[in-house]
Amino acid sequence: MNLSIGLRNLRRVREILVLVLDYGFGYVVDQLDLDRYLPLSRRRRAHRAYAALPLPRRLRLALAQLGPTFIKLGQMLSTRSDLLPSNVVAELRHLQDEAPAVPFEQIRGVIETDLGRPVEECFARLEAAPLASASLGQVHAGTLADGSEVTVKVLRPGAVRVVEEDLQILSDAAHLLHRQAPSVRRLNLPGLARQFASQIEDELNYTHEAHSMERLRRGLSSGEAGIRIPSVKWDLTTERVLTTERLRGTRVDQLDASAGIDRRAAAREFGRYMLQQIFVEGVFHGDPHQGNVLIGDDGTVILLDFGIVGYLDPRTRELLVEAVRGAYDEDTDGLVSTMCELGAVGADTDFASLRSDLARVVGRFAVLPGRRLSIGRLLGRALRALWLNNVRLPPELSLTAKALLMTEAVCSELDPEFDFRDLTEPVVEEARAKLLAPGAVAHRVVRAVESTGRHVARLPGRIDRVLSLIEHGGLRMRTEEPESEGRWSRLGRCLNRLGLSLLAAALVVASSMYLVAAESTAHVTLGIVAMVAGVLLAGVVIVASLRPGQV
């Protein structure tokens, strides 16, 4: 039992555990060594209301009920098609980031605290009824003194405290599972917990989102007149309040066929923009689902909500471009080489098996017509094949695959005959030409030479430190044995039981002697209390000995 889980945030831990058991994930409680803190009758069986549901559905419902942190966790996991089965990923993509509205007086309090003046001095009008209410923030429509319309996104009161509490619990649980469950160590749960914490902390800081929005807005070129991103009102923006220009439009899935909009042109404009951002610019909207994409009355595509933004460095973009070209050309060997260069190849990687898996993925998509060839699904399955063969890839690629899948879904909603491959190939070729341009190559060569020079300059100092350690006997070597941790854990539990047994025996013997020599009622009472404590402690040790893995 990890004391940090047991003693900190105990109420929230118990609430999480009860829900985990209700939805039939009792084996997770066993792995965490926490089942002794809950009724035995509830350890294994799912609540009858959920028992008939498939596991992915139960997982989604459990995360939704656990609140904002776990909803965000599910949304992050929905990008990890390399780690989770496709049916689980597909189900998690249905997680809706919605919540009951916060009373307007509480929202007013946050705005006035952060902006330092009454709401009436900030806005000519601010609607009390929210436009949208999500798990972390709430959006209200307003008007400025000059008559311009704005949207005001406000962080829910108390959201930071709840998220920080849940992040600590998740971090503790991830480290505990990593230690006690060898079967999940290859998932690197502590690393996933750190990645998730970093992502959600960015979403809790609206100035971070504002800078991302402005960066993408400034990047719009004259050739992207069909794409609009709201401007930020910086004088009315803080870490908890984000005020932006209000752009009106209709959700893609609610667009009326009689609206007179060129749906095919809008699909091509949006698809080309997203591909350009991913493969050419390396900065892209990481959550372009249908709720974040509006179509204006003039057919322009409006992008909203920049809480999640993806970044790809030039080297990653170059390799990703080559990987897509290899997949389109059915060059499996080239694809294997490129994808392995993208990640970290494990010592136990089976390249023959990897090549076979990737050839199967490429072959499956090669027979599809262009409009049914999903580059997002292709990338997602390739990432999973790499992970199964012990090639670890940066998490940004999973976010890229998710963004591509969402982009394809929006484009297909606008134009059912949309041909994504027809749009992808010219953008990929443009990205390749830009990356291989003489100026870009020369810049990378100069950077590589500079980096090599810095390493060479530091080499004498590093050699001197190693020789100094050897000279003073300070050099240490560390070896790892996969099963040693389990043996030490079992030995620790045995020592715990031995210590508790000695303490129980000491209490019983001492209380007996104390009762024999007792001279007053108080002495007798104290002796009986010590005797009962010793007997109870002995009972705990006996029960723990009959239940492997306890104490």
Catalytic residues: 287
Distance from C-alpha of 352 to C-alpha of 350, rounded to nearest angstrom:
6
Distance from the Cα of residue 389 to its chain's centroid: 22
- Within its chain, how far is the Cα of 171 from the centroid? 13
By C-alpha distance, which of 97, 83, 69 is closest to 401? Answer: 83
SS3 192: helix
24 dihedral zone (left: phi>0; alpha: psi -120 to 50; beta): left
Does residue 339 contact residue 360 with C-beta atoms inside 8 Å?
no
**Is residue 389 a contact partner of residue 350, using CB atoms and an 8 Å limit?**
yes
The whole-angstrom separation of Cα 283 and Cα 216 is 8
Answer whether 403's CB lies under 8 Å from 216's CB.
Answer: no
Beta bridge partner(s), residue 153: 139, 242
Are the beta carbons of 234 and 210 closer than 8 angstroms?
yes
Instruction: Return d(Cα 61, Cα 23) in angstroms, integer.
Output: 8
**By three-state DSSP, how is residue 43 classified?**
coil
Sign of CA dihedral 301, 304, 310, 314: positive
User: For residue 451, what is the enclosing H or E element?
Assistant: helix 438-471
Burial category of 437 from C-beta neighbours within 10 Å (exposed 0-12, middle 13-18, buried 19 and up): exposed
- What distance in Å separates the CA atoms of residue 176 and residue 5, rounded to the nearest whole number? 9
d(CA 37, CA 46): 17
The candidate with the shortest Cα–Cα distance to 353, out of 320, 394, 386, 319, is: 386
**Contact between 219 and 281 (Cβ < 8 Å):** yes
In this structure, the chain runs to a length of 551
From CA 13, how far away is CA 43, in angstroms rounded? 15
Question: How many Cα atoms are found within 13 Å in the side-chain-facing hemisphere of 477?
Answer: 2
DSSP letters along 400-441, please? HHHHHHHHHHHHHHH-TT--HHHHHHHHHHHHHHHHTSHHHH
Other Cβ atoms less than 10 A from the Cβ of 143: the count is 15
Burial of 308 (0-12, 13-18, 19+ CB in 10 A): buried
